[in-house]
Structure 1
Amino acid sequence: MNLIRTLKYASLIYLLIPSILFLLTWVNLSVGISASILMITYFFWYVKKDIANDIREVSAQYYGWAHIVGILTLAIGVNVLLGIGEFKRQESDFVANNFKYYDLIQHDWPLYYAHYKVHMCYYLGYYLPVAQLAKWFSLESARYFALAWSVLGLFFALLWISTFVKKNGGLLVVLVIIFPNAWIIYALIDLIGWHREVFPHYFILINDFYLVLSKFEDNWAWAPQHTLPAVLGACFILEAFLSKKINRPELLLMLLSTMYWSPLASIGLFPFVLILFLKDFQTLFLQERLPELFGMIGLVTAFLPLMIYFISTEGVNSGNTGFIWQAGSSLWIVYYAIYVLANVGIWYCFIRTEPFDWSPLIYGCMCLIMIFGIYRVGLYNDLNIRGVIPAFTIMSCCISIWIMYYWKKKKWTVYFLAIYILLGGLHSIRNFGLAISPSKPQTTIAKPFINNYTSMLSFQESAYGDSTAIKEYCLKKDGFFDKYLLKK
């Protein structure tokens, strides 16, 4: 089978598995089975329809075992060095992640916290398959399943990214992994001592309003549950742009399948999918396209239990939302300008000088990066930090391709950006290098307990410093999902 077609189908199955698992274990049997059958039927209908279409061919080098094994080895190395599988130190968010795994493995589903008298309501796509496998085998096996699950997703993504250039795909993958955010510029501002309090750890903090654009390594180390669907979704967008073929059934399935992994990733992918959907939109209602339209309506119907589940959360503290100009600083426009110029402006100033097929996609990503920084959602501005991952992934791919494309034309702008990426990427290379040294995770899936915390909710309640913050993880009592859809 064509490599691109294989990657598309494998990625969709990978993204879809958690949603089907949720429907069969958290939703009442009749609704869950019906929705699952609809999803599976849609997938096979899509495959049957898609198999007849022409698809992009790639260089034979990408089929070779050397390339495939090299990408797989890289995927394993990235995951192990960043703590997945518990062989190395993990970022602090894994204290909560390990509690999520433990609670899901040790308790029946739907997960109920007797102490708080609530059911969990959270996007668990990253955790659920691993937890199910560990239920069948053992709690101790969860770390290996977690590693294998993450490696598989990253392998699909990196192998796909490598095919976006005709040759030197391995180089493109490396550039995407080390592609920097604005840390160099922030470090220089910090060095000269201007507004030092605004730039701790290379991000902008306006009182308690965060402006963050994290690079790949940070996103993967802190939140693979958001990064995996975002990067795989970005591959679908890049593929549609490169092949100049819009497959609406495929894009809709991809978008909805990412939702249970990370609604924030889905929000970040939505503008790209919407623009592709609206292109030649009138053709969607042609008589010969009616089966396609009805099929997509059926797919949305199948995902309705998941959508209802997400809006059935008890919600987060309303004080965790607001626009940047409400951050309490008269200099907000200065800080926002620095964020935009450092993360977007430096790329735009140089790539706009050369005509490039990928330019519209790059500029679209730049616009989204600017827009997502304006409104805050969540205590740490999760919408800005996680929702922007698809745009940052697409932009890093496209600009890396731009540099590779124009390298032989000996343009100084290309050399400048190549040096900038290399210098910026040294921060990631350094972090990977430091991770090689022996280290241990703070907690593990088998032993997530820290201090006096006994569950994910008890830990989050303390971590957020506000008991109302855990409502984000709690299912609304006597709501529609609780009454009619929750498996009893």
Structure 2
Amino acid sequence: MTPKIDGLLTRLSILFVAIPYLVFTTCWLNIPSAIGFSGVVLVSLFLVFKNIHSDTSVDALFLNQKKSIYWMLGIIIIWIFFSGIGSYTFQNTDHLYRNAIFRDLVKTPWPVIYKVEGFEGHILDGKTTMMTYYLGYYLPAAALGKIFGFGFAKFSLFLWTVIGTVLVTYQIGKFLKTFSFKILLLFFGWGTLFFIGALYKYSFYEVINEQNYLWAGMRLYADSNLGLIYWTFNQSLPAWIIILLIFNQGSIKNMWFLSSFCFFLSPFAFVGLIPFLLYISVKDFEGSLASAADWQKNLKLHFSFQNLIGAGSVSILNLLYLSTNQAGKFFQLLPNANLKIWIVFILLSWGLIAVFILPKYKKEPLFWLIVGVLIPLPFFQQGYGIDFPGRVSIPALFLLMLLVGKYLREVKTGVLRIAVLAYLAVSAIGHNVIETGRSMAMTGIENISHNTNFDDVLQASSTPTLQKMGDALEDIKDENICIKDFGTVLNPKNEVIWNYMADIEHSYFYKWFAKKPTQ
């Protein structure tokens, strides 16, 4: 009897996005609210799981590639190890904030309450605030850390990310009907040629050291899958899993329920997902679009406890939770002043690869929807950084990757196929050097400087260049050049504390639902 691998991994994929919400409801809410909101989701999950059946053809494909899968798992662990998640290797500057959030979640009672002091002139100075952020991804690992310590929490976050990456690659394999190494090459090689603009404008040293990478401005930014894992794993991994669960022949009766977890875990990606949810809703429309009766019949297909009550409860609670965060309320439409830069940005980010696959997908509505979503994103700004275009584009770029994967499986010859492979090769090399290569190099340098006397050997050399390298190693001997950490969100050096908290005075979430600190 063939093991039901697909059914198991599909259920695990759903649990991966549901568990963080359940940790939130059981540990952050008062008892009546915890029972109510958790109960609704548990009933919804039971109804979802009841109708999941293993795809035997997928099971057979998976089992035929068992040896490859073991090697693929090892490669995934190495890639994630050098992401800095878990604080084992070099971390980019975003970890200054991520480590602070994570430590506060582990070390502070839930919900995390702050008394803001020492930020003279700040809108929150002197206020009592609550951590208000899309923090769900961190909660399972932080909960374990409260029991077993901070070191175990960091390992748990690393392991959680490995599990998420494995589930994503499995679901990609299911979508493309293959579980070979090509899946890893597609997933970790997929991205933009955005870095070419940075290398053209700035030196390699500046780019590799996170200087001036945003060559086209704060709003013109698109990232690779590898870059998203290394920088915003908490937003990208859950969104990818939800997208794949929906597009892998997922039931429309579960679609809005699963999507509500995307709203909880990755709100920007959820905004980018909405057009594609609407696309799924109408692509198999039966009857006439002009008929009210046909609309009623088709809408009833969405009616289920999990879509109506389950998704509604998740969405309303999360909306109330996030609504008091002031940083997210700054939104504007901005014209692009430099048409040339905008065109180059579009071409390097996704335009070239879209042109390469256009002949195959020119009659495919999903392809044109992807294009239609990506074109206007650079004209919008949420907050003061790159969050809106850089994160809302996650679903569209990921779906474009899936179309490219289908293209390579179905188109076996031709100049355009060679162009697609060349694009992916350049993207893979560029992003692996910038992200994984940099992490390996910096991690190696720190270990050499801290654990060897190689600096003395170089300084004793008769070659000036080697002597300078020895001096540099000695200079960092007592420094931690890998791990980035503010320690707490309330670190005075953290100039953007309002991104991660909200005043509880006007919070309906805190007033009605949150667990109150014991006096």
**Deviations 1:104-145 (Å, cap 9, x if unpaired)?**
111111101123421111111111111100001112212211
Shift of 1:50: 3.8
- 1:383 matched residue in structure 2: 388
- 2:332 matched residue in structure 1: 322
Distance of aligned partners of 1:26 and 1:215 in 2 relative to their CA distance in 1, 3 Å threshold: same
- SS of match in other structure, 2:219: strand
- 1:243 matched residue in structure 2: none
- Structure 1 counterpart of 2:404, which letter? I
Aligned length: 454
**Deviations 1:168-208 (Å, cap 9, x if unpaired)?**
6321321221123123652575389xxx9xx97554434xx
- For 2:137 and 2:492, the matched residues in 1 are separated by 20
TM-score with structure 2 length normalisation?
Answer: 0.79
- 1:170 matched residue in structure 2: 181
The partner residue of 1:230 within 239, 248, 251 is 239
- For 1:118 and 1:162, the matched residues in 2 are separated by 44
The partner residue of 1:20 within 14, 19, 22 is 22
Is residue 89–residue 439 contact of structure 1 (8 Å, CA) maintained in 2? no
Shift of 1:292: 3.9
- 2:509 matched residue in structure 1: 481
The partner residue of 1:216 within 211, 214, 225 is 225
Instruction: Structure 2 unaligned segments of length 5 or more: list them.
Output: 117-126, 287-292, 447-479
Matched, 1:343 2:349: yes
- 2:123 matched residue in structure 1: none
- 1:406 matched residue in structure 2: 411
Shift of 1:428: 2.4
**Deviations 1:26-69 (Å, cap 9, x if unpaired)?**
12210121111110111111222344xx8473263422432332
- Structure 2 counterpart of 1:337, which letter? I
- SS of match in other structure, 1:376: strand
- 1:369 matched residue in structure 2: 374
- For 1:84 and 1:376, the matched residues in 2 are separated by 28
- 1:146 matched residue in structure 2: 157
Shift of 1:423: 2.1
- 2:88 matched residue in structure 1: 87
Pairing 1:14-413 to 2, within 5 Å after superposition: 14-51=16-53, 55=55, 57-58=57-58, 60-63=60-63, 64-115=65-116, 116-167=127-178, 169-183=180-194, 185-186=196-197, 190=201, 201=212, 203-206=214-217, 209-240=218-249, 247-279=251-283, 280=285, 285-286=296-297, 292-303=303-314, 304-316=316-328, 318=330, 321-325=331-335, 329=337, 331=338, 333-354=339-360, 359-407=364-412, 409=413, 411-413=414-416
- Structure 1 counterpart of 2:223, which letter? S
The partner residue of 2:498 within 463, 466, 470 is 470
Percent sequence identity over aligned pairs: 20
Distance of aligned partners of 1:71 and 1:449 in 2 relative to their CA distance in 1, 3 Å threshold: closer
- For 2:374 and 2:321, the matched residues in 1 are separated by 28
- Structure 2 counterpart of 1:278, which letter? V
**Deviations 1:313-333 (Å, cap 9, x if unpaired)?**
234473xx32231x6x3x2x3
Shift of 1:461: 3.9
Shift of 1:267: 1.4
- Structure 2 counterpart of 1:264, which letter? F
Instruction: Structure 1 unaligned segments of length 5 or more: list them.
Output: 241-245
TM-score with structure 1 length normalisation?
Answer: 0.84
**Deviations 1:437-467 (Å, cap 9, x if unpaired)?**
42567576xxx765xxx521335742x4xxx
Larger Rg: 2
